[in-house]
Amino acid sequence: MSQRFTVSKSGGDRRPSDIQGEVNQLFEGDEPSACGPAAGEAAPTDAEDVVVVLKGDSNPKESSPFINSSEAAAEKSQQYDGKNMALFEEEMDTSPMVSSLLSSLANYSNLPQGCKEHEEAENNEAESARKKPVKAPQLGTLMGVYLPCIQNIFGVILFLRMTWLVGIGGVIGTFIIVFMCCTTTMLTAISMSAIATNGVVPAGGSYYMISRSLGPEFGGAVGICFYLGTTYAGAMYILGAIELLLIYIAPKAAIFPLEGLEGAEAEAALLNNMRVYGTILLTSMATVVFVGVKYVNKLALVFLACVILSILAVYAGVIKTGIEPPIFPVCVLGNRTLVWKNFDVCAKTIETANGTVTTQLWRMFCDSPFLNATCDKYFTANNVTQIQGIPGITSGVLADNLFGNYYEKGDLIAKPTLESVEDHDDPLTNANRYVLADITSFFTLLVGIYFPSVTGIMAGSNRSGDLRDAQKSIPVGTIAAITTTSTVYMSSVILFGACIEGVVLRDKFGEGVHGNLVIGTLAWPSPWVIVIGSFFSTCGAGLQSLTGAPRLLQAIAKDSIVPALRIFGHGKANGEPTWSLLLTACICESGILIASLDSVAPILSMFFLMCYMFVNLACALQTLLRTPNWRPRFKFYHWALSFLGMSLCLTLMFLCSWYYAIVAMGIAGSIYKYIEFAGAEKEWGDGIRGLSLSAARYALMRLEEGQPHTKNWRPQLLVLVSTDAEQNVEQPRLLSLTNQLKAGKGLTIVGTALEGTYLANYEQAQRADQALRKLMETEKVKGFCQVTVSSNLRDATSHLLQASGLGGLKHNAVLVSWPRNWKQGDEHQTWRNFIELVRETTIARLALLVPKNISAFPSNGERFTEGHIDVWWIVHDGGMLMLLPFLLRQHKVWRKCKMRIFTVAQMDDNSIQMKKDLTTFLYHLRIDAMVEVVEMHDSDISAYTYEKTLVMEQRSQMLKQINLTKNEREREIQSITDSSRGSIRRKNPAAVTTQLSVTEEPPATSKEEKPEEEVQLIHDNTTPASPATPATPLTPGEEAQSPGEQIQRTWTEKCDGEAAKPLGVTTQEDIKDIFNMKPEWENLNQSNVRRMHTALRLNEVILKKSSEAKLVLLNMPGAPKNRTGDENYMEFLEVLTDGLNRVLLVRGGGREVITIYS
């Protein structure tokens, strides 16, 4: 992924202070954007050789029908022969004229080629604990993991709902449910064991494991879900205890009596009783937990003993049914099960010595106790049968209970094998005499109700701080507990189906067996063993939930990853989570107000399933990523098992209740995003960071596999900015422009260069890095930043250009601002660096974007309500000039600007056909723009062109040959300019119609900052006279000119100190200049003359068409191949862009970037 090479430091003993100004001026006007080297990175030594690591390769290129096309070479050479396009003649090998591009439109094609070392102590308690002598933990596998898991897994569902589940779902259906749920918890336990044995797990259990494996966002989201699940589990246990109390232990204690109520009224009374008693019990439990948790822990063993004794009693009862089945008769009328209440004999009449006597059952269905009474039709038509409720394990009843019987709410619980005579048209009467289904049942409902009975597998890991050897005890104890409980559950399904009659199994509240708990009828020696044992076990489980949930919330709050929960990290002086307990009690009360065990169970199933799903995800992720720190002592795990467990959890979530699943995932997602945006920054070495690294590596390797297609091309910008002496970014508008180009969704790297050695300038580099980051955040630029330090700024910039990016994620375009004040005598290195940058981007086949007058560009807060973005498409650059305006117009700053495209037609071009072809081309590109073809015919080169070329060349020669001080240079330049000014006007005053701007004049720049301002010729139509520069008197000939042709001139002082004579006054010496200048013209470099002619003509046309445009995009000519003409190149560009407010010079990167194909 990386390449190492050595760069030898070039000769020259230039001090950093000498070179610092040169780089700052090279990038003056640029703005910063991303990040530099991270703190703590090793710095290279101050030696002759510097080791540099280059990441990645340059962007792969794509062949193009227009670029590097050898067939069109001759044609292109002819098209550049004209004087109008001489400025671009050196581009002929790579950039064809637009006219040749449009003529090839029909053949257009795009062919693709082929952390910290350890967890930091985040509260003072950990530090104080180190100072105190801590007693070594003594708990082993049995007491520390196995028995707590047994106690938490066995619970209210086993005693209150398991028989009903078997009766409704059938033995087969219920066995499938139990097997799925137990498999899920077993796979989760395997994943948890791998995580728990991968290093020391402090107290915190599942939350700690998930957060440290998946990061603070996932950890916080899943931790809160686990907390909610534990809290609602407490509500479920309390509701189970109240159900046992009010239905089986003390029915008379109901505040809202059920006697005489039917249907909805009876159901409402029962729910209200549950709410009242549930709130009372919750308050009592919360008080106990608040007063002393140690009493809860001491009672845990008592509650565990109750659970174990109850289960043993059930197994003993099953064995007894095979020997002597207990007597639990069920009374059935026809095939309908009767509620065995208020009657003693299951018969209509009985024979006595006095004859036939009606029974209490008769009186329930008839209007009198006499045999001639009027009775219920169904009672009259059907016989009463008494069947054995528990026929025994050898009775063969298992065959009848194999398959499920699902009911709608209010359906009669019937025995299908018994005969029934009924008229289906008759309404159901005396409904309260029959056992009815209290809820609508279906398979997925059973899954949601059952799953809470297998939760509790985290009990061992939650006690990891108390274990003698957690890495051994947690896997062994948890897996052994799950194996034990799964065996009990699956055997219970079969044994219940084999021992108990189906109508009794489907009788949820035991109404048909004298109101007994159904599982209690099977228990030996007495049903009360189960009733009392299950009551205490559910109360104990509720206390455990109210003890564990507040501590879990406190752990999350102390991690400070959820700012809104920080208050819950505080508690009593002894650390008890008082505020967390209060919130837990309030949430638990919301579950109690639901008042239905069957409605609360699916809710907590969602939260537990989500927690287990992320435990499996954490293990699978760590295993697949193969991070160096992933070395679990528990070896019996595999990523496929974890993935299967995760899939089962997700499946069960939607099986239980799809809408609850969506709500739970929505809650977790909201918490995740909240932590992401508002939470504290945490670095826990989590797997998500590792996943990001692996995904990035994989994506980068994929990018290296093949050439990117044109459709996938996007501007990936390297933004070169400069910093001042305080390492603050100059010209921040450059980053505003970067932000406005972000519609390309490409990479952005903001880089800056510093002069000196890395060791000596490390602090400055860090300050520059922070300045870049801050400005990037302010301008909302997403990307990276890079600061490079080298012996001189030219090399540092070159290093940025070469080494930035990584593989396929490497920049393909460079954004750098035009160097300001480049003509000042002490700024010669600035423009030389700029030209070298142009050459380097050309050889590296990178696109180059150069905004001129960057300070005039809009900020991100500005809005253009109208205006145009003008594109002057002179040579084909691969489509960059088309793509950039499109990207800009996606941003709100430029959204309301319209796009205009101008192209230039030569003498032999058919401008009408060119416009038609260009319109068609833009239509296929799906770009809306107005099209205009500008005709530029060959014209004679004006005297003004010769004079400007002469001044340019004389100045260039003088700077090369004379090593003068700054003031002397200015005087020399001034004298040359003054001597040629008069001749320019005298020879052809009407031809001087274009502004000559020797140096760019940014807004609010004083005269003192621009020493060559005096030699400016300012076009009256575009720039008003400066108040500080009095205009010269005009001759009568000048007054006759149109306003657009008037020329304003300045008073200057010649080098000898004399005041210059007014330029409108002609002297004998001036007349001699007319005859003296022509030979000098003939000695001029004709190539420079032609280029100057092109620049002046193009500038004239652009000013005429685009002077009011909000932005002008223009092809940027390439740097001269002969380095002796570098300063002339800068002058050409100045002339080309003279008078334009905002200009973006663009050079293509040598490949197609836009296509007409889908």
- Residue 147 structure tokens: 């028995």
pTM of the model: 0.63
Please name the residues in contact with 707: beta carbons below 8 A apart, sequence gap of 6 or more.
60, 61, 62, 112, 113, 114
Please report the pLDDT score of residue 372 as a whole number: 85
Determine the Cα–Cα distance for residues 1116 and 1141; give it in Å rounded to an integer. 17
Q: Tell me the backbone φ, ψ of residue 828, rounded to 5 degrees.
A: -65, -30
Choose between 495 and 371: higher pLDDT. 495
Please report the pLDDT score of residue 967 as a whole number: 54
Distances (CA, A) of 963 to 771, 958, 1131: 38, 9, 21
Question: Is 23 a residue whose pLDDT tops 50?
Answer: no
User: From the CB of residue 897, how many other CB atoms can be counted at a distance below 10 Å?
Assistant: 20
| Residue with token string 């077993």 | 186
Q: Which long-range contacts (CB under 8 A, 24 or more apart) does 280-287 make?
A: 281/238, 281/241, 281/242, 281/539, 281/542, 282/234, 282/235, 282/238, 282/585, 282/588, 282/589, 282/592, 283/585, 285/234, 285/238, 285/539, 285/542, 285/543, 285/546, 286/546, 286/581, 286/584, 286/585
Burial class of 118 by CB neighbour count within 10 A (0 to 12, 13 to 18, 19+): exposed
Please report the pLDDT score of residue 1044 as a whole number: 37
373 secondary structure, DSSP code: S
User: Whose CA is closest to 562, among 719, 703, 679?
Assistant: 679
Please name the residues in contact with 393: beta carbons below 8 A apart, sequence gap of 6 or more.
318, 321, 322, 495, 498, 499
Instruction: Return the bridge partners of 448, or none.
Output: none
Q: How large is the average pLDDT for residues 956-980? A: 54
| Residue 451 · residue 182 · CB < 8 Å | no
786 secondary structure, DSSP code: E
Distances (CA, A) of 409 to 160, 265, 596, 603: 19, 15, 15, 21
Question: Is 1036 a residue whose pLDDT tops 90?
Answer: no
Question: Is 786 a residue whose pLDDT tops 70?
Answer: yes
Q: What is the pLDDT of residues 990-1016, one digit of tens each?
A: 433 333 333 333 443 333 333 333 333
Q: What is the pLDDT of residues 510-562, one digit of tens each?
A: 888 888 888 988 888 888 899 998 998 898 888 888 888 888 888 888 888 88
Question: Is 1082 a residue whose pLDDT tops 60?
Answer: no
Q: Which long-range contacts (CB under 8 A, 24 or more apart) does 624-628 make?
A: 625/687, 625/690, 625/691, 625/694, 627/687, 627/690
Please report the pLDDT score of residue 950 as a whole number: 64
CA angle 587, 588, 589 (to 5 degrees): 90
Please report the pLDDT score of residue 315 as a whole number: 93
C-alpha atoms less than 13 angstroms from C-alpha of 879 in its C-beta half-sphere: 23
Please report the pLDDT score of residue 184 as a whole number: 95
Please report the pLDDT score of residue 494 as a whole number: 94
Q: How large is the average pLDDT for residues 314-328? A: 89
Q: What is the pLDDT of residues 179-217, one digit of tens each?
A: 999 999 999 999 988 888 887 766 556 677 777 777 788
| Residue 1051 · residue 1032 · CB < 8 Å | yes
Q: What is the pLDDT of residues 877-932, one digit of tens each?
A: 777 888 888 888 888 888 889 989 888 887 777 888 888 888 888 888 788 888 88
Q: How large is the average pLDDT for residues 252-278? A: 83
Between β-strands 847-852 and 813-816, what pairing exists: parallel, antiparallel or unpaired? parallel
Number of residues that this document lists for the chain: 1158
| Residue 623 · residue 689 · CB < 8 Å | no
Q: How large is the average pLDDT for residues 465-494? A: 89
Please report the pLDDT score of residue 332 as a whole number: 92
Between β-strands 1143-1147 and 898-905, what pairing exists: parallel, antiparallel or unpaired? unpaired
User: Whose CA is closest to 384, among 348, 344, 345, 436?
Assistant: 348
C-alpha atoms less than 13 angstroms from C-alpha of 425 in its C-beta half-sphere: 0
Least confident of 25-34, 640-649, 704-713, 1144-1153: 25-34
797 secondary structure, DSSP code: H
Please report the pLDDT score of residue 311 as a whole number: 92
User: Whose CA is closest to 180, among 538, 648, 511, 618?
Assistant: 648
Element (H, E) at 523: none
Q: What is the pLDDT of residues 1109-1124, one digit of tens each?
A: 899 998 888 887 777 7
**DSSP assignment string, 895-914:** TT-EEEEEEEE-TTS-HHHH
Most confident range (mean pLDDT) of 406-410, 413-417, 644-648, 1025-1029 is: 644-648
| Residue with token string 């430091």 | 9
C-alpha atoms less than 13 angstroms from C-alpha of 210 in its C-beta half-sphere: 26
Query: What is the pLDDT confidence band of residue 95, given thresholds at 50, 70 and 90?
Result: low
| Residue with token string 């049914």 | 321
Q: How large is the average pLDDT for residues 107-118? A: 37
Q: Where are the alpha helices (DSSP H) in 595-686?
A: 597-625, 639-656, 658-678
Choose between 271 and 18: higher pLDDT. 271
482 secondary structure, DSSP code: H
415: helix, strand or coil: coil
Question: Is 1078 a residue whose pLDDT tops 80?
Answer: no
Q: What is the pLDDT of residues 122-163, one digit of tens each?
A: 444 444 444 445 455 577 888 888 888 888 888 888 999 999
Q: How large is the average pLDDT for residues 815-835? A: 77
- Residue 1074 structure tokens: 């007319």
1104: helix, strand or coil: helix
Q: Where are the alpha helices (DSSP H) in 292-348?
A: 293-323
Determine the Cα–Cα distance for residues 861 and 997; give it in Å rounded to an integer. 31
Please report the pLDDT score of residue 1154 as a whole number: 72
Determine the Cα–Cα distance for residues 713 and 422; give it in Å rounded to an integer. 77
Determine the Cα–Cα distance for residues 606 and 612; give it in Å rounded to an integer. 10
Please report the pLDDT score of residue 183 as a whole number: 96
Q: What is the pLDDT of residues 693-750, one digit of tens each?
A: 777 777 777 777 666 676 667 788 899 988 888 888 888 888 888 888 876 567 788 9
Choose between 693 and 446: higher pLDDT. 446
C-alpha atoms less than 13 angstroms from C-alpha of 1132 in its C-beta half-sphere: 26
Please report the pLDDT score of residue 641 as a whole number: 95
Q: What percent of the chain has pLDDT over 90?
A: 17
Q: What is the pLDDT of residues 67-85, one digit of tens each?
A: 444 444 444 444 445 556 6
SS (HEC) of 137-160 = CCECHHHHHHHHHHHHHCCHHHHH
| Residue 597 · residue 278 · CB < 8 Å | no
CA dihedral 499, 504, 510, 511 (to 10 degrees): -150
C-alpha of 653 from chain center: 25
- Residue 434 structure tokens: 């029959």
Choose between 736 and 963: higher pLDDT. 736
Distances (CA, A) of 570 to 211, 290, 320, 574, 577: 21, 14, 55, 10, 6
Determine the Cα–Cα distance for residues 336 and 387; give it in Å rounded to an integer. 12
Please report the pLDDT score of residue 482 as a whole number: 95
Q: Write b or e for each residue in 772-805: b if 16 or more Cβ atoms lie within 10 A of its Cβ, otherwise e.
A: bbebbeebebebbbbbbbbbbbbbbbbbbbebbb
Determine the Cα–Cα distance for residues 62 and 306; give it in Å rounded to an integer. 77
User: Whose CA is closest to 709, among 62, 227, 141?
Assistant: 62
What average pLDDT does the chain have? 75
Please report the pLDDT score of residue 583 as a whole number: 92
Question: Is 989 a residue whose pLDDT tops 50?
Answer: no
User: Whose CA is closest to 35, among 781, 1125, 799?
Assistant: 781
Query: What is the pLDDT confidence band of residue 1129, given thresholds at 50, 70 and 90?
Result: confident
| Residue with token string 């999350």 | 556
| Residue 945 · residue 992 · CB < 8 Å | no
Determine the Cα–Cα distance for residues 60 and 77; give it in Å rounded to an integer. 28
| Residue 679 · residue 223 · CB < 8 Å | no
| Residue with token string 């420079």 | 1088
Please report the pLDDT score of residue 954 as a whole number: 62
